Structures are given as C-alpha cells and as structure tokens.
A = this chain, B = another copy of it.
C-alpha cells in the first residue's frame, strides 16, 4: 500500500469526499489486515444503523481536514 496518499489537495469537494472515505478505510485495514476478516464484518456494519452513522462521523472528520487543506476551494 505504497503511495496511497500522495497529497491532500483535490480538484473538487467531491474528490475530497472520496478521499475522506479512503482515509477512514485505511485505518481499518491497518488494524485488521486480513481482507477476509474485514469482508466478514461488512455485513455487520452495512446493516447496522449505528455503525453507518459512526462511519459517516469518521468521514466527516477526515473531510474537515481535507477541506481545510484545500482552503475550502474558495475562489481567490
């Protein structure tokens, strides 16, 4: 998993949002490195409202970081 995060700069807010999801997932991968084990858990959280809201929370924190890194894509 080399060079998976070359920069926090993104062209658009949408790209940033995708990157925020990626950041959230990498922490999970690095804690549970077994892909099968992760896949087995997927059914759990994908059908659990609390887990889905928690995922959304982590994405929100990462998105905040990336948005700040891009100065919120303000037109200067």
Contacts and interface: CB of A to CB of B under 8 A. Distances in A.
A20 to B, nearest CB: 8
Work out how many copies of this chain go into the complex: 6
B24 A56 contact: yes
Contacts of A64: 61-62, 64-65
Interface in A45-61: 45-61
Contact of A50 (B50, B56, B72, B73): B50
Interface residues of A, number: 52
A35 interface: no
Interface of A: 3-9, 12-14, 17, 21, 23-28, 30-32, 37, 41-42, 44-65, 67-69, 72-74
